[in-house]
Amino acid sequence: MTARPNELTAVEAARRIEVGELTVEALVRACLERIDEREPDIAAWAHLDREQVLAAAIAHDGAGPMHGVPVGVKDIVDTVDAPTTYGSPIYRDHWPETDAVCVNRIHAAGGTVLGKTVTTEFAARYPGPTRNPHDVRHSPGGSSSGSAAAVADCMVPLGIGTQTAGSVIRPAAFCGVYGYKATYGLLSFSGIRHYAESVDTLGCMARSVEDLAFFRDVLLGVTPVPLEPFPGRPRLGLCRTHHWDEADEATRTCLEDGARRLAAAGMEVEDVDLPAGMEDSLEVYNRIQQFEGARCLGPDFDAHPDLLSVDARALRELGMAVDAASYRDAVRRHYEWRAATDEAFAGYDAVLTPSAAGEATRGLRFTGDIAFNYLWTALHLPAVTIPAFEGPQGLPIGLQLVAPRHADDRVLSVAARVAQHLA
Amino acid sequence: MTARPNELTAVEAARRIEVGELTVEALVRACLERIDEREPDIAAWAHLDREQVLAAAIAHDGAGPMHGVPVGVKDIVDTVDAPTTYGSPIYRDHWPETDAVCVNRIHAAGGTVLGKTVTTEFAARYPGPTRNPHDVRHSPGGSSSGSAAAVADCMVPLGIGTQTAGSVIRPAAFCGVYGYKATYGLLSFSGIRHYAESVDTLGCMARSVEDLAFFRDVLLGVTPVPLEPFPGRPRLGLCRTHHWDEADEATRTCLEDGARRLAAAGMEVEDVDLPAGMEDSLEVYNRIQQFEGARCLGPDFDAHPDLLSVDARALRELGMAVDAASYRDAVRRHYEWRAATDEAFAGYDAVLTPSAAGEATRGLRFTGDIAFNYLWTALHLPAVTIPAFEGPQGLPIGLQLVAPRHADDRVLSVAARVAQHLA
């Protein structure tokens, strides 16, 4: 049976449009049909104007490296053609005057913004209505909930996400798709609502590693080139981190089994430790997230305190209580840890680690534990999650690969190889 | 003769309001009178609504650590109460829905936003109409042109600036005021138009070091505490940098004379070099500024190419020609240089270096050379400029102090001591 257009990867759909086997209109129609069918259960979209999108698809000339391929854009990203609510009732009717840089890059590459995907409030903790396509009783993860669910459910091949703790990797893992968080600063954050500026990072979701690499090039504003196959035998580190005991048994077993299978497939795998002195890394990270997060919330907190969630108000209170010296100390420790981890991981082509502490959390209130995510975000490392395993509840469990800062190409190439064996 | 209220420093004005010797209204009226008198010559303000500001001043209860003290806010900073043009005709009628975090901090501290000050287009090269108060035939520097000129001309005691290359320190030096650029990331940039995200930094101008420290606390979102006097004898490095020959003779002489006078006053002063391997630092910096700057301009370039200046179009073209590998290489070198410079400067309480290559440039077209600014911005170091000298044209020449990342308190304390001897 041939795949329906909405089930194609972005790279394959773009290729078919380029050679005339598929039209932008047919692709967008297939995505919209899938959304019509599934959205009542999944609630992945914050805004989607079917007529506008279809008219644009019909008018699209199929040019550009994206050839009209549609993207779901997380609703903390500014868009001129759609309202941008940041997941907050304060911004229910907010229409930005300027596209975020990443949206401009999608347009410039000939991509189609299909609509805005659900985000938690201000990309923080308070969840939206999105459900996990694998089991609607479970959370899709967050904060990039809608993008992960929409990509997983074949509503759209590509989704934009952002990560301050684990907001790309964890929802991608929970929903069983591929996710990529860039090296901090590599992809422009301009025009995106900030949560905690020193760690806010752009990323994306897709249904293949090739798509992640392709979309990364688009977002970076360079001409996409096919992902180079990793040359030779990848040398992998296995990093359990000091949070290992917080992963559930299935996750720990999956990761260790996965490492064994990769070793059996000829890759070198050995244990690698984090640099010494990082035992309190979660507390240090929290200081930064809270200090910066509370200040970013300031304008909304002062103008509309009654329209903030309990979670946002709690963040505000925690962050205003962090003093300058303790914030500064946390930032300095992050500087040191970044350099030390780049060095500790330099001998590996990628480092394996859990994507999340377990399967998707039951219920929609909690988008999941950040234990296996915040650290790589704080360290500014590129990270990829692969839908490698299935857990005891029948939900996806991811395998995460990280690498030193700006080794994004390498970690994507290794991820493609690893996916051949595990996904 | 007693100073007029608009001539007071912010700290002194706040003190007088607190004890009932001055009212917010009288202070704001004095500032507005000064503006009425001088604005036709100086053109420091992009937007100023006299009635609105006066009504707010009359209604102000004088509370908060700022006690109503007014601030000029650079017009690339989002404000709800005033249009925000980013120095571009594209945004002539742009009214943001949310204050930038720094504006929220000013309001939360009981400060008054007097109005928006002139910025170059998108805080880059293309100048606004502002003139140097010391000689209107000369540039005030840029991109924070209006804030520097307004503070220098006693139109307002405090100004917000931002720096991507030298946009706080150089205009402050050209206009003969104190300027401070924070450690990168210390002060929120949320709600401010980006130019080049990995180096964009918030800063401010004032007429004393105490005011810079006071305002820094406000912008950081902590309760202001008086600047601690530097304990003991400051140990100073003198760093000429590899751009030394690009400074004019007067600037070189001033800096060396200044260093001698500080040594004569009992401070330790010795030469310090930049870490090895930074000879091409300008080219490396330019790659980053251009790569990121071109992408930040994308949404406006695509929507309104005809409304961009020649300078913006040139930046766009240069930046789109920088490839990803060469951008990544530049970022990696910045990582290394930051760590190496923190270490090289760690033995000094502050490092002396020119604030600019010379006096304010003649004419308004060129806001000045970045040679003595971009490096400290790229290195993420805190920097302070002191109006220490006068040049052969009778225009101010500044002395710049820099220190390792997050030694902001120390460099401000040392600057206060140095200012006692030189300013």
* Cα(B151)–Cα(B138) distance, integer angstroms: 16
Token digits for A326?
Answer: 């303790």
Pairing status of strand B70-74 against strand B158-163: parallel
DSSP H or E run through B418:
helix B408-422
Pairing status of strand A178-181 against strand B396-402: unpaired
Mutant choice from B77, B95, B105, B188 vs A, greatest count of A C-beta within 10 A: B188
Residue A1 above 60 pLDDT? no
Nearest alpha carbon to residue A203 among A165, A153, A244: A165
Mutant choice from A98, A122, A186, A198 vs B, greatest count of B C-beta within 10 A: A98
Asked whether the beta carbons of A172 and A399 are under 8 A apart, the reply is no
**Residues 6+ away with beta carbon under 8 Å from A98:** A78, A80, A191, B299, B300, B303
Kindly report the CA angle at A416 between A411 and A417, in degrees rounded to 5?
100
What is the predicted pLDDT for the residue at B423? 82
- Average pLDDT of B277-285? 98
> Can you give the pTM of this predicted structure?
0.97
- Average pLDDT of B247-254? 98
pLDDT band of A158, cuts 50, 70, 90: very high
pLDDT tens per residue across span A302-359: 999 999 999 999 999 999 999 999 999 999 999 999 999 999 999 999 999 999 999 9
- Every domain of chain A with CATH number 3.90.1300.10 lies at 6-220
- Every domain of chain B with CATH number 3.90.1300.10 lies at 7-220
Q: Which residues in chain A have their CB less than 8 angstroms from residue B197's CB?
A: 185, 188-190
Could you count the other beta carbons within 10 Å of the beta carbon of residue B10?
27
What is the predicted pLDDT for the residue at B208? 98
**Residues 6+ away with beta carbon under 8 Å from A123:** A74, A76, A86, A87, A143, A144, A162, A164, A167, A193, A195
pLDDT band of A2, cuts 50, 70, 90: confident
Contact B300 A185 (CB under 8 A): no
Asked whether the beta carbons of A34 and A5 are under 8 A apart, the reply is no
* Cα(A284)–Cα(A326) distance, integer angstroms: 9
Average pLDDT, chain A: 97
Q: What is the CA radius of gyration of chain A?
A: 20
Q: Which CATH class is domain B7-220?
A: alpha beta
What is the predicted pLDDT for the residue at B2? 74
pLDDT tens per residue across span A99-118: 999 999 999 999 999 999 99
Q: Is B74 a catalytic residue?
A: yes
Chain B CB within 8 Å of residue A406 CB: yes
Contact B296 A101 (CB under 8 A): yes
Q: Which residues in chain B have their CB less than 8 angstroms from residue A298's CB?
A: 101, 104-105, 108, 221
Instruction: For chain B, positions 277-316, list CB contacts with chain A under 8 A.
Output: 292, 294-296, 298-300, 302-303
Mutant choice from A295, A328, A412 vs B, greatest count of B C-beta within 10 A: A295
What is the predicted pLDDT for the residue at A363? 94
What is the predicted pLDDT for the residue at A423? 83
Nearest chain B CA: its distance from A406 CA (Å): 7
Chain B CB within 8 Å of residue A340 CB: no
What is the predicted pLDDT for the residue at B1? 54
The catalytic residue among A74, A88, A181, A355 is A74
Residue A383 above 60 pLDDT? yes
pLDDT tens per residue across span A233-265: 999 999 999 999 999 999 999 999 999 999 999
Could you count the other beta carbons within 10 Å of the beta carbon of residue B8?
23
Q: Which residues in chain A have their CB less than 8 angstroms from residue B99's CB?
A: 299
Nearest chain A CA: its distance from B90 CA (Å): 10
Q: Which CATH class is domain A6-220?
A: alpha beta
Chain A CB within 8 Å of residue B328 CB: yes
Contact B103 A292 (CB under 8 A): no
Nearest alpha carbon to residue B54 among B72, B75, B68, B64: B68
Task: For A3-12, give one letter per residue: b (16+ CB within 10 A) or e.
Answer: eebbebbbbb
